[in-house]
Amino acid sequence: MTEARRRRRGADRAAARKAVALDQQLPAVERKIPTYELFSDESLELALKNAEILLQEVGLDLVNCHRAANAFKTAGQTVTVIEESTGSGAKDQTIHNVRFDKGWCREMMKTLPGAFTQYARNKDRSVPIGGNRTVFAPVYGPPFVMDMEGGRRYGTMADFEDIVKLTYMSPALHHSGGTVCEPVDVPVNKRHLDMIYAHLKYSDKPIMGSVTAPERAQDTVDMLKIVFGADFVHNNACSTSLINLNSPLALDDTMMGALEVYSENHQAVITSPFLISGAMAPVSAMGVMTQALAELFSSMAYTQLIRPGAPAIFGTFAASMSMQSGAPTFGTPEPNHIIYGMAQLARKIGLPFRSGGSLCASKSPDAQAAYETANSLNATVMAGANFVLHAAGWLEGGLVSSKEKLVMDADQLAMLQKFGQGPDLTEDGQAMDAFREVGPRGHYLGAAHTQRHMKTAFYDSKLLDYRPYETWAEDGSPDTYTLANRKMRQMLNDYEAPAIDPAIDEALKDFVDKKKASMPDASF
């Protein structure tokens, strides 16, 4: 074989490998295993009852949410101004407290869809949200990024694009996510434009929108209209955005402003309390669940005041706390109890549920990170979460977006996806023919049943090391971090952008450029 032919053959093989990688994209998990029911129905009813008491007797504070205060008042709820400050030197602040009539929020929530589709620009990659389906999205929000070569540092737009590409290349990540890291090299008031563009350009999986200001949410919607068409966007979820509530029991104008834009435009929101027990919530699972219910009921009811039928996801983010350092901890028993309980409550109410992820406190992609992550991901999947933000790449309590850990976690997600398929109960799965063929003291490798199923029988990790000790030692005894670094670099090297209509791409770029030119840089 000539050198040229050998090279061509090598190139053909590489192309085949890439094609296979894209073909291997997994659909959203379709769970065929039962969910784990940790709480009795009686205790769930108790949490629901206590949440109603909380809404009636303690209520919700609205910080500068004038539209929401008016809407709740108009709808007959008890709204009181409890703080009002105006004048020089301080930001104006108005705080309303809302007390809710028993059952009113639940009544309002009846127009929420129990399940919906989030569309991707590649319609084959649209994802079902709810029911027995689970969608995995990457880490969201870290100011820092980390990889083996560069260490831990503030994120940049180049890092952001790397993470979007790695997510695109990972078969078990069904969703491109949102702020996969904060690109701090772009001014705060403009970075959402680059982020949304990067998701739409470098991936064709579904995306999340900006929530840091109402006008940035509107920019997201406007860019979606360029891609999907205005009419389609108006009636279909082309984005899902994370609305973190201001626990305990408060909502602020930033998040509510974003929620209002998205709900008005029929774009999906994840209303989600962010609860570190002992800080924003009590130190007991029932306490956390009760508070989360009250916060969810009031904010989800508000989405329906904005636009009945607008899709929203019942979200919960829970962490415990280290007694030594006060740092939030993850993959621990207490938040896992809460994931199970909140999932049960979401099912009872009939709404899609968001929680869990590749959560860990560890500062490097070591054994601690993996123990914590696996504990968290097992609970996430067995609880039956429908939308899993932070499903890959989360490190150091969410401060760090790790490129290697994204690759490591994505392998675990593919594995859990296979776990969720459950065992084969068919006659073929019962393997009675294999026993008759092999008999006592035989070996199953050559059996017809084995040969028939060998390729799909077991989860086949593309990352983890199953080589004999000696082979592995000769290769320098690489740990998982090192293996993931190699794979991550290979993926970025192999990456090819999905096709995009050049006219749409131009229109998006034009939108971004004009918006950027229309305002000075700002750091808030």
Residues 346-405 that bind a copy of itself (CB under 8 A): 361-375, 378-379, 382, 396, 399
Binding segment (CB under 8 A) for a copy of itself, from list 16-24, 73-81, 309-317, 321-329: 321-329
For a copy of itself, give the closer residue by CB, 15 or 432: 432
| Smallest separation, CB 76 to a copy of itself (Å) | 20
For a copy of itself, give the closer residue by CB, 178 or 331: 331
For a copy of itself, give the closer residue by CB, 94 or 122: 94
Total residues at the site for a copy of itself (CB under 8 A)?
A: 121
Give the one residue of 67, 307, 472, 504 binding a copy of itself; rule: CB under 8 A. Answer: 472
Identify residues 249-288 at the interface with a copy of itself (CB under 8 A): 249-250, 277-287
Partners of residue 93 on adjacent β-strands? 85
> Residue 207 in 3-state DSSP?
strand
Instruction: Tell me which amino acid residue 15 is.
Output: A
Please report whether residue 504 would count as binding a copy of itself according to CB under 8 A: no
> Residue 168 in 3-state DSSP?
helix
Binding segment (CB under 8 A) for a copy of itself, from list 1-9, 20-28, 207-215, 327-335: 327-335
- At CB < 8 A and 24+ separation, what contacts does 498-503 make? 498/122, 498/168, 498/202, 498/203, 498/204, 500/121, 500/200, 500/201, 500/204
Please report whether residue 499 would count as binding a copy of itself according to CB under 8 A: no
| Smallest separation, CB 471 to a copy of itself (Å) | 8
305/300 Cα distance (integer angstroms): 9
| Smallest separation, CB 421 to a copy of itself (Å) | 8
| Smallest separation, CB 370 to a copy of itself (Å) | 3
Give the one residue of 272, 316, 332, 344 binding a copy of itself; rule: CB under 8 A. Answer: 332
440/429 Cα distance (integer angstroms): 19
**Nearest in space to 111 (alpha carbons), one of 224, 246, 263:** 263
Structure tokens at 281: 């919530």
Identify residues 208-237 at the interface with a copy of itself (CB under 8 A): none
Site string for a copy of itself, 476-495 (x = CB under 8 A): -x-xxx-x------------
| Smallest separation, CB 505 to a copy of itself (Å) | 38
DSSP characters for 222-238?
Answer: HHHHHHH-HHHHHHSB-
DSSP characters for 83-136?
Answer: EEE-STTS--EEEEEEE--TTHHHHHGGGS-SSEEE--SSGGG-EEESTTEEEE
Identify residues 406-465 at the interface with a copy of itself (CB under 8 A): 408, 412, 415-416, 418-419, 421-425, 428-432, 434-436, 438-445, 447, 449-450, 453-455, 457-461, 464-465
For a copy of itself, give the closer residue by CB, 14 or 367: 367
For a copy of itself, give the closer residue by CB, 36 or 495: 36
Give the one residue of 141, 341, 352, 384 binding a copy of itself; rule: CB under 8 A. Answer: 341
**202 phi-psi bin (left φ>0, alpha ψ -120 to 50, beta other):** alpha
CB atoms within 10 A of CB 309: 13
For a copy of itself, give the closer residue by CB, 91 or 443: 443
Please report whether residue 466 would count as binding a copy of itself according to CB under 8 A: yes
Give the one residue of 21, 26, 46, 48 binding a copy of itself; rule: CB under 8 A. Answer: 46
Give the one residue of 21, 26, 48, 58 binding a copy of itself; rule: CB under 8 A. Answer: 58
434/450 Cα distance (integer angstroms): 8
47/41 Cα distance (integer angstroms): 10
Using CA atoms, how far residue 289 sits from 53, 108, 271, 294, 317, in Å, is: 13, 20, 14, 9, 11
> Residue 70 in 3-state DSSP?
helix
Binding segment (CB under 8 A) for a copy of itself, from list 115-123, 235-243, 322-330, 346-354: 322-330
Taken in order 395, 396, 400, 404, is the CA torsion positive or negative? negative
Identify residues 146-175 at the interface with a copy of itself (CB under 8 A): 152
For a copy of itself, give the closer residue by CB, 117 or 170: 170
Helix or strand run (H / E) with residue 202: helix 188-202
Token match 């790397």: residue?
Answer: 162
